[in-house]
Amino acid sequence: MVRLFALLLLLCGPALAQDAPVMKMSIIADPGHETSVVGEMIPLTIRAVYDLKVANEKLEILGTGSFDWIQTGPDDWHEEMIGGLSRIVMERHVAVWPKQSGMVTFGPVVHHLTVIDRQSRRQDMDVTAQPLALSVGAFPMDRGWHLAAEAVELTDELSADAGHLPDGATVIRKVTLRALGALPEQLPPRPVVSENWLITFAAPIQRDLFLTEDGPVAQVVWTWEFRPHTGEPGVLEGVTIPYFNATTRRLDSVEIPALPIAVASFFDAQTLTGVIAGRQVWVLAGLALGGLILGLAVAALWLAPDATTAGWARLRRRWSPLPRLRLWRARRRGDLLAERRAAQDAGLPQARLAALDRRIYGPGGS
């Protein structure tokens, strides 16, 4: 009799097991490393396995006060073969960012379901995933803005050559910061630009989040308009943005480069540029030569006044046009005595003076 009862249990066991529905759900973490830090993204998967058809559902995530989190993709419903039986599988991918260090928990997660049982009747039930405990380390830098990301990229765009602006013109600077594995609100605030020599207008900040195959990408765009108003060139100093590199597990940084700003007319007015017109070259050369001659004359007059005066008189007699003009006039009048005086003042050779003397004092002379 006992053997018969045992045989009946053995035969009915699979049927009883088949009648009990399989409805379970869990939270699975894939951090990629043993310990995450505060503000670092941790990918999670909420996975449910059901063997009843689901007519309606709503997933409720509780206990998230220690995290920022987003859903990174649509829910994935599909069928899988598990233990040789076909099961309905639901997976939801989320990304969480812990706000504090220590042992923190995410969850629980409750799935409110309306299922179709084996008797084709609708039945409401809740499936719960237990909270997931995560170990979180402190951010490796005490001071400054705390940003953790797998990769950070910075681009700097200018609307014009900031170092050679036309008078009264402005230049627009657009800095774009992108971080893989971060949220827009985790990106740092806009750097403050305030200079006495510069008029600055800052446009509204643009923050966006893009879901990509590699993960969420946070982006912030900072835009300024600059116009120098003093005329002299200036330089905006570079800005370093540190962050924790979640890939290399080290502190890293990107930098907004320094920016020289000036108007082109300031450089055009400077001779240091080395650009001098050809006409200016001859003018400068003439001025330099004249200054040199004047300086030598003054020095000679100071050091040897008598010799300098006599030499200046000789030069004046030899090169002055007045004695030659008197000589020409005397010849036209036929006045030999006036011609003789003008010839001597003009410094003519002795042979020519002697010829004039013979004409004046010789036989038949005047």
Q: In what order do the strands lie in the sheet with 36-37?
A: 36-37, 132-137, 102-106
Q: What is the pLDDT of residue 102?
A: 96
3-state secondary structure the chain: CHHHHHHHHHHHHHHHHHHCCCEEEEEEECCCCCCEECCCCEEEEEEEEECCEEEEEEEEECCCCCEEEEECCCCEEEEEEECCEEEEEEEEEEEEEECCCEEEEECCEEEEEEEECCCCCEEEEEEEECCEEEEEECCCCCCCCCCEECEEEEEEEECCCCCCECCCCCEEEEEEEEEECCCHHHCCCCCCCCCCCEEEEECCCEEEEEEECCEEEEEEEEEEEEEECCCCCEEECCEEEEEEECCCCEEEEEEECCEEECEHHHHHCCHHHCCCCHHHHHHHHHHHHHHHHHHHHHHHHHHCHHHHHHHHHHHHHHHCHHHHHHHHHHHHHCCHHHHHHHHHHCCCCHHHHHHHHHHHHCCCCC
With a cut of 70, list the residues of the chain below it in pLDDT: 1-19, 266-284, 297-320, 363-366
Q: Which residues contact 96 (CB under 8 A, 6 or more apart)?
A: 41, 42, 44, 64, 67, 68, 69, 106
Q: What is the pLDDT of residue 342?
A: 76
- 246 and 169 within one domain: yes
333, part of any domain: yes
3-state secondary structure 248-306: CCEEEEEEECCEEECEHHHHHCCHHHCCCCHHHHHHHHHHHHHHHHHHHHHHHHHHCHH
- 36 and 123 within one domain: yes
Q: What's the rounded Cα separation, in Å, for the pair 60 and 24?
A: 15
- 302 and 241 within one domain: no
7, part of any domain: no
Q: What is the pLDDT of residue 292?
A: 77
Amino acid letter for position 29: A
In the listed set 268, 289, 313, which residue is the last one of a domain according to the structure?
A: 268
Q: What's the rounded Cα separation, in Å, for the pair 83 and 173?
A: 61
- 52 and 30 within one domain: yes
- 105 and 71 within one domain: yes
- 338 and 254 within one domain: no
Q: What is the pLDDT of residue 160?
A: 96
55, part of any domain: yes
In the listed set 84, 110, 137, which residue is the last one of a domain according to the structure?
A: 137
Query: Is-contact 44 106, C-beta < 8 A?
Result: yes
What CATH code is carried by the domain that includes residue 79?
2.60.40.740
Domain count within the chain = 3
Amino acid letter for position 340: R
pLDDT tens per residue, range 89-131: 999 999 999 999 999 999 999 999 999 999 999 999 999 999 9
**Total Cβ atoms within 10 A of residue 123:** 13
**Distances 347 to 44, 92, 352, 353 between C-alpha atoms, Å:** 113, 117, 10, 9
207, part of any domain: yes
2, part of any domain: no
Please return the burial class of 95, using the count of CB atoms within 10 Å of its CB with bins 0-12, 13-18 and 19+. buried
302, part of any domain: yes
119, part of any domain: yes
**Total Cβ atoms within 10 A of residue 315:** 10
Q: What is the pLDDT of residue 306?
A: 65
Q: What is the pLDDT of residue 73?
A: 95
116, part of any domain: yes
- 84 and 133 within one domain: yes
In the listed set 268, 301, 323, which residue is the last one of a domain according to the structure?
A: 268
- 89 and 169 within one domain: no
Phi, psi dihedral angles at 236 (to 5 degrees): -85, 125
Q: What's the rounded Cα separation, in Å, for the pair 226 and 354?
A: 87
Share of the chain above pLDDT 90, in %: 61
Q: What is the pLDDT of residue 305?
A: 65
- 295 and 350 within one domain: yes
- 249 and 340 within one domain: no
Domain housing 205? 148-268
- 154 and 262 within one domain: yes
- 89 and 186 within one domain: no
pLDDT tens per residue, range 124-152: 999 999 999 999 999 999 888 999 999 99
